Structure 1
Amino acid sequence: MRRLVAFGALAVALAACGSPQQAADLSTLSVRPSSPQSSESAPVPPSSAPLTTGQGTTATPVSGRCTAAVLAGSVQPGDAGAGNRYGKLVVTNNGAAPCTINGYSGLQLLDAAGNPLPTDLQRTPDPGPAPVMLVPGTAAAANLHWTVVPTGEEPVDRPCQAEAARAAAIPPDETQPMDVKWGLGPVCAGGKIEISAFYAA
């Protein structure tokens, strides 16, 4: 009788160890089962492959994606020269738990009243998509590049486009935007902005 009870307990433990943790986005999180447990030890949740974190270290990923509800966004200016402008879209995890961001942000320039302005967002693989875990308080960034040189029928005696006051930035695989301040001047070439994927900042 004792052998039957022990066998039943072992079967339950092995079944628990073999259940993979569900991920919210299978394209960003690669889950692997944990090592088998002996009959004398309690089962533990499966571990996952380490991801890069906002602090440049590795950690066990969680299932949640970073959403606008937990992210604070800002646009930071970079170098300028020969009509080119550079900047970064920086997002910081202000939530209470880690989250994962992977891919490209959406971005729409807005005027002071919140009306959309011409925006032609173009993705560049510099760098390309890779999952980044943000523990609370850490950040990720995406590179931005645009021109202030009028093109086509854009005027040369005044700003080529209306200057944006703000921008709506949508985290990867999400639909709700973050409101970020722009204040970096007009974007010529019909609002063309090149954007990279997010990387650990």
Structure 2
Amino acid sequence: MRRLVAFGALAVALTACGNPDQQAGRSTVPVAPGSGSGTTAAAPPAPTPASTPAASTPQASGRCTAAVLAAEVQPGDSGAGNRYAKLVVTNNGPAPCTLSGYSGLQLLDASGQPVPTDLQRTPDPGPAPVVVPPKARAAANLHWTVVPTDAEPVDGPCQPEAARARAIPPDDTQPMSLEWGLGPVCGGGRIEISAFYAA
């Protein structure tokens, strides 16, 4: 009987001295390393920066037209029956414009009627784009003779004298009006003209 009592007391003592973790209410399940709440999540990949758009190319200058140009003839040197002048145009528009090529030209009398004009293009200088900023100028060289040719009279004007002229910019259809007043143009009204260049 004493042995049974002693065995029961020993069993109670062993139960009371269980695992210290269980006594404290702590789990004995091992925790995988790195799975705790203090672990920092990996940062998301940085967004790819958007491609920078290429700088816009300035638009090419528009064509110079009679709407923005003012024209005049500036006399040059003369001698041995030859006359020289320049057809000068000024850009009165708000933006640069481009001239490329030859002007048209028609001589007129005081009443606005056509006077014989035979315009001949020369290659010096030849056609090349000329950007004309606002208030800037471009010019074309003019050359003609005052010596009568063929059946033209020699005892008076070889041709009717022009008072005015109409000039048409390259690739345009509208004319510019300008004063002439530089005497008759002999040789049937033959005038040599160069392409426009910066003046």
Please state which band the TM-score falls in when normalised by the shorter chain.
0.7 to 0.9
Aligned length: 155
Asked which structure has the greater CA Rg, the reply is 2
In the alignment, is the contact (CA less than 8 A) between 2:87 and 2:140 conserved in 1? yes
Q: Identity of aligned pairs, percent? A: 73
Q: Which runs of 4+ in 1 moved over 3 A?
A: none
Aligned residue number for residue 71 of structure 2: 73
Q: How is 1:45-84 mapped onto 2 (pairs within 5 angstroms)? A: 45-46=56-57, 62-84=60-82
Residues 178, 88 of structure 1: alpha-carbon distance in 2 compared, 3 angstrom cutoff:
same
Residue 114 of structure 1 corresponds to which residue in structure 2? 112
Unaligned 5+ segments in structure 2 are: 1-43
Query: Which residue is 1:157 aligned to?
Result: 155
Partners of 2:95 and 2:57 in 1: CA distance: 19
SS in 1 for 2:188: helix
What's the CA shift for 1:45?
A: 1.6
1:42 Cα offset (Å): 3.9
Q: Matched residues in 2 for 1:76 and 1:181: separation?
A: 10
Contact 2:125 / 2:197 at 8 angstroms: preserved in 1? yes
TM normalised by structure 1 equals 0.73
Give the letter for the 2:87 counterpart. Answer: L
Preserved contact between residue 109 and residue 118 of structure 1 (Cα < 8 Å) = yes
Inter-partner Cα distance in structure 1 for 2:175 and 2:140: 16
SS at match of 1:189: helix
* Partner in structure 2 of residue 99 of structure 1: 97
Question: Partners in 1 of 2:193 and 2:64 — Cα distance?
Answer: 18
8 Å contact from structure 2 (residues 61, 96) kept in 1: no
Partner of 2:28: none
Question: Match for 1:46: what amino acid?
Answer: T
Q: Give the RMSD, CA atoms, in angstroms.
A: 1.8
Contact 1:108 1:167 in 2 (8 A): yes
Of the candidates 185, 196, 199, which is equivalent to residue 198 of structure 1? 196
CA contact (8 A) 1:62 1:98 kept: no
Secondary structure at the residue paired with 2:182?
coil
- Looking at structure 2, the residues matched to 98 and 177 of structure 1 have their Cα atoms a distance apart, in angstroms, of 20
In structure 2, C-alpha distance between the alignment counterparts of 1:115 and 1:64, rounded to whole Å: 32
1:44 Cα deviation from its structure 2 partner: 2.3
Q: Deviations over 1:59-116 (max 9, x none)?
A: xx73410000100100010000000000000000001111000100000000111111
| Structure-to-structure mapping, 1:144-183, within 5 angstroms | 144-183=142-181
